[in-house]
Amino acid sequence: MARKTGSHSEITGPRVRAAALALFARHGFAAVSMRQIAAEVGVQAGALYLYTPDKQTLLFDLMRTHMDDVLTAWAATPKAPTPRARLDCFARFHIRFHLDRPEAVFVSYMELRNLDAANFATIEGLRRTYETELEAILQEGKASGAFSLSDTKLATLAFIAMLTGPTNWFREGGRLSRAEIEDIYAQMVLNAAGA
Amino acid sequence: MARKTGSHSEITGPRVRAAALALFARHGFAAVSMRQIAAEVGVQAGALYLYTPDKQTLLFDLMRTHMDDVLTAWAATPKAPTPRARLDCFARFHIRFHLDRPEAVFVSYMELRNLDAANFATIEGLRRTYETELEAILQEGKASGAFSLSDTKLATLAFIAMLTGPTNWFREGGRLSRAEIEDIYAQMVLNAAGA
DNA sequence: GAGTGATCTGAACGGACGTTCAGTTCAAGG
DNA sequence: CCTTGAACTGAACGTCCGTTCAGATCACTC
């Protein structure tokens, strides 16, 4: 037994990443073995090394892909005319986007400490870039008098922490729909900004 | 070589817990070995089992102790007269208390998935109890018209996520003091509640 | 239909893991 | 000063870890 019928690199590669993401999210990077990932894919552990040079890089690639996806999706979102509308738009974008990929969000936040120094710096840079997008909105609103905020840097961190929360508890078919959560959180953020 | 001069159960026990807490916070439960904890304490791995039945219980005890501490400290905080003052008080308490023990906060949040079912249920129950304290304040304020909130459950989760944020980035001697952070966050929470 | 290369197996590598335990050491009580 | 037992060592247990690699298999090309 070796090569299975119909197996291709373009199929197995994504399946490896999907299995790794799901397992890392559920049990944590350090608690998941390459053999578990392989079993999930239906392959022997050695075969994983056709798709990643090592376990650490597998984690890093998942996180970098996620961060790239966030930034790309936000860049493709039309810019609203006023700071208030832009903040509302950002809040709704953030919740919607993150609710669609809870595993990637969870891993990208929880497993930062398992990255080596160079990989950590890369991911941290991307995160900073995203935060800066929000802070720019807050600064504009503060300058124009649309928001009343004593510290835009703190508000940035506070809003992102708040808006990421639903990712940890949202379940399809729960008490509230995505749209309702989006509405409520957007309203709380606007309130908190003094808009 | 065995028993070192001046070593006692009352000294080594706390040192084991302190070393475990610090290492779990930095590297994660699954990534830390009993031998690393022992080395930090200055003891052989086998000696740890005089102070904990196993690694999982060591983690659980750290988390339960932390949750008990939170609830005890909050219970000892005087109740303010109005919902608005109580929310302000809760926000300041939460930030102050959590900024004083960032490692315990980090571990208690990040390592939930490494608890077995029974231990998880216990910790989750304590967490729920704490959240209920905040939600009660929000409900009173909503009922009295002091707050304008569409959903007190969501607001509870959102505020706790927001208020716990500083634990992850606060550094002594940074740009802002504890008191300043406390002021800013308390204000943002009151705004978000529509107070 | 032979040959080639991408894909995967299965076994092995040295090392680290959590946990146990017989034996050693030493502070303290009589 | 002798005994006792709490505190700890050091070695061992079986198991699993990440990673490597020679060899097997099979889809494809010519």
User: Which residue among A52, A67, A83 closes a domain?
Assistant: A52
Mean pLDDT to the nearest integer, B177-192: 96
Shared-domain flag, residues B47 and B74: no
Shared-domain flag, residues A37 and A73: no
CB proximity B2–strand C (7 Å threshold): yes
Shared-domain flag, residues B66 and B36: no
Closest CA to A90 of A110, A64, A70: A70
**What is the residue-averaged pLDDT of chain B?**
95
User: Which residue among A25, A52, A79 closes a domain?
Assistant: A52
Packed helices B152-164 and B178-192: angle between N→C axes, nearest 10 degrees: 160
Answer whether B120's CB lies under 8 Å from B61's CB: no
Shared-domain flag, residues A80 and A43: no
Q: Which nucleotide is nearest to A6 (CA to C1')?
A: D27
B162 to chain A, any CB pair closer than 8 A? The answer is yes
Tens of pLDDT, residue by residue over B121-157, are: 999 999 999 999 999 999 999 999 999 999 999 999 9
Closest CB from A113, A161, A169 relative to B165: A161
Residue A173 has pLDDT above 60, yes or no: yes
Shared-domain flag, residues B78 and B153: yes
Domain that holds residue A1: 1-52
Mean pLDDT to the nearest integer, A6-31: 91
Query: Residue A78's domain is classified under what CATH number?
Result: 1.10.357.10
At A143, list the tokens. 């300058």
CB proximity A179–strand D (7 Å threshold): no
Map tokens 């315990």 to a residue.
B104
Shared-domain flag, residues A79 and A35: no
> What span, in angstroms and rounded, lies between the C-alpha atoms of B68 and A186?
34
Query: Residue A35's domain is classified under what CATH number?
Result: 1.10.10.60
3-state secondary structure (DSSP) of residue B82: coil
Shared-domain flag, residues B36 and B6: yes
- Position A6 scores a pLDDT of 54
Shared-domain flag, residues A63 and A127: yes
> What span, in angstroms and rounded, lies between the C-alpha atoms of A42 and B176?
52
Tens of pLDDT, residue by residue over A99-115, are: 999 999 999 999 999 99
| Amino acid in position B114 | N
Q: What does chain A come to in residues? A: 195
Closest CB from A110, A150, A162 relative to B158: A162
Shared-domain flag, residues B48 and B84: no
Residue B59 has pLDDT above 90, yes or no: yes
> What span, in angstroms and rounded, lies between the C-alpha atoms of A82 and A89?
10
- Position B7 scores a pLDDT of 56
Shared-domain flag, residues A39 and A131: no
How many domains does chain A fold into?
A: 2
B195 — pLDDT class (breaks 50, 70, 90) = confident
- Position A195 scores a pLDDT of 86
Q: Spell out which residues of chain A touch residue B193, defining contact as CB-CB under 8 Å.
A: 191
B159 class by beta-carbon count within 10 Å (0-12 exposed, 13-18 middle, 19+ buried): buried
3-state secondary structure (DSSP) of residue A175: coil
Beta strands per DSSP E along chain B = none
CB proximity B27–strand C (7 Å threshold): no
Answer whether B68's CB lies under 8 Å from B124's CB: no
Shared-domain flag, residues B139 and B68: yes
- Position B79 scores a pLDDT of 95
Shared-domain flag, residues A28 and A60: no
- Position B1 scores a pLDDT of 40
B102 to chain A, any CB pair closer than 8 A? The answer is no
Q: Which of chain C's bases lie under 7 Å from a protein CB?
A: 6-12, 16-27
A1 — pLDDT class (breaks 50, 70, 90) = very low
| Amino acid in position B79 | K
- Position A2 scores a pLDDT of 47
Residue A175 has pLDDT above 90, yes or no: yes
